[in-house]
Amino acid sequence: MTTRAPRRRDIHTGRDFERLINFSDAVVAVAITVLGLAIVDIRPSPTQTSIWSTISANAGQLYTFLFTFMVVGIMWLAHNRVLNQLRGFDGMIFWLNLFWLAGIAFLPWPSAMYGEGFMTADGGPLAGVGLLYWLTLAFISVVGWLIAWHAQQVPELIEPERAHQAFPTTSIGHYRGLVFAALFIVIGVASMIAEQLASWLPLLIIPVSMAFGRARRSDDVVEEPNS
pLDDT one-digit tens code per residue, 71-123? 899 899 889 988 988 999 999 999 999 999 999 999 999 988 887 765 444 44
What pLDDT, on a 0 to 100 scale, did the predictor assign at position 125?
A: 56
**pLDDT band with cut points at 50, 70 and 90 for residue 4:** very low
Q: What percent of the chain has pLDDT over 90?
A: 29
Burial pattern 207-225, b for ≥16 Cβ within 10 A else e, equals eeeeebeebbeebeeeeee
Q: In this predicted model, which residue has the larger pLDDT, 215 or 15?
A: 15
pLDDT one-digit tens code per residue, 176-207? 888 889 989 988 888 888 777 777 777 777 77
pLDDT one-digit tens code per residue, 125-157? 567 788 899 999 999 999 999 999 998 888 888
Q: Could you state, in order of their start, the residue ranges of all structural domains in the chain?
A: 13-40+59-226
Q: Average of pLDDT values for 41-66? A: 77
Is pLDDT of 70 > 80? yes
What pLDDT, on a 0 to 100 scale, did the predictor assign at position 159?
A: 80
